[in-house]
Amino acid sequence: MRPRTGLAVRAGAAAVMSILSCLASTPARAHDVSFSYADLHWKKSEIELRVTVHRDDAATVLGIAAPESLMDAAFLAGKCDALSHGLLPGLRLQGDGAAIALRLERAAVKPERRSVSLVYAASLARPVAHLRLDARLFPANPQHQTFVNVYAGERLVRQDVLTATRSATEVYAGGATGLLAVLRTFVGAGIHHIFTGPDHILFIVGLLLLGGGLGRVLRVATAFTVAHSITLAIAALGLVHVSGRIVEPLIALSIVYVGFENLRRRGAEADWRMRVAFAFGLVHGFGFASVLQEFRLPREALAASLLGFNLGVEVGQAWIVLSVMPVLGALRRWAPRLAPAAVAACSWGIILAGGWWFFQRVLTRA
């Protein structure tokens, strides 16, 4: 038994030594995840941006084989201009839509993070109300992340994580100028969404086909507005989440339903439209909210951004109503015999379009 035991011990020791030898010959990977930090200090007359990158990433930009050499302040000082030249193409700052030129101030070693920092500064000729920071520092690495902190004075107003698929963050100033900037951005976004969303347009047109007086049309439009405002707000605030796999097919079905109701009722009970507008308006509000999620509502101006987007939706909706109603009114006035056939034809068109979208959305989201 002893010889076998000794053999087993020697074999085990040999295996351990082999493993240790392999580990010793394999370079340690202390930087498996590529990330950087961007700390932006926003003041009325100037901006300071500190960009901190890991030494391994910096060495890749500079073509240096020994990243640890960048931990020497004197060595880094001689390389900071070249490093900045390599990073600046992926770093863009805009104020109120205009580019802000960044100038390199200094570089610093961050040994506790095994990183280096480049400090940029920019002078502002006038205060800006809206800042946008784009950061794709290492576009060749799709896994790279940039952690952003934005300070207004000493107050932290925005934290974000920028990636290859979402490389920009936006922040708004406080006060009246910031409010106006938010409204300009989100009112425009709301208008754009209405006119690039044919499903919402067809739903509204379907509700208008049976006509009626101005008061009746206003009540229908108001019911739709109130309903989608409720769900837009609660979804955008994160209070309720409904998957797009449910919402988008339901929006398509709402269009089909309105088309069939137009064919079935033919205006005899036109008040049904107000109830339908409210019920399905709740569904459409969740659809609007999915668009707002792409904007990542600014925390510092949450109420204003919600209000602005909703106003934009209403402006677009009002434009559709004011465009369609005169045409329908003229048709009924000058061709009363043709009007019912035209309404029926449009209703069938709406049904077919809504039905196509429904099956398309169910199949593509399955």
Q: Residues 169, 173, 174, CA angle at the centre, nearest 5°?
A: 135
What pTM was computed for the model?
A: 0.70
Lowest mean pLDDT among 219-223, 298-302, 321-325: 298-302
Split at pLDDT 50, 70, 90, the class of 177 is: confident
For the stretch 316-346, pLDDT in tens is 988 998 898 888 888 888 988 888 899 899 9
Please list, in sequence order, all residues whose beta carbon lies within 8 angstroms of the beta carbon of residue 277, skipping any fewer than 6 positions away.
207, 220, 221, 223, 224, 227
Domain 177-364, architecture per CATH: Up-down Bundle (1.20)
Split at pLDDT 50, 70, 90, the class of 24 is: very low
Q: Where in the chain is the domain with CATH 1.20.1250?
A: 177-364
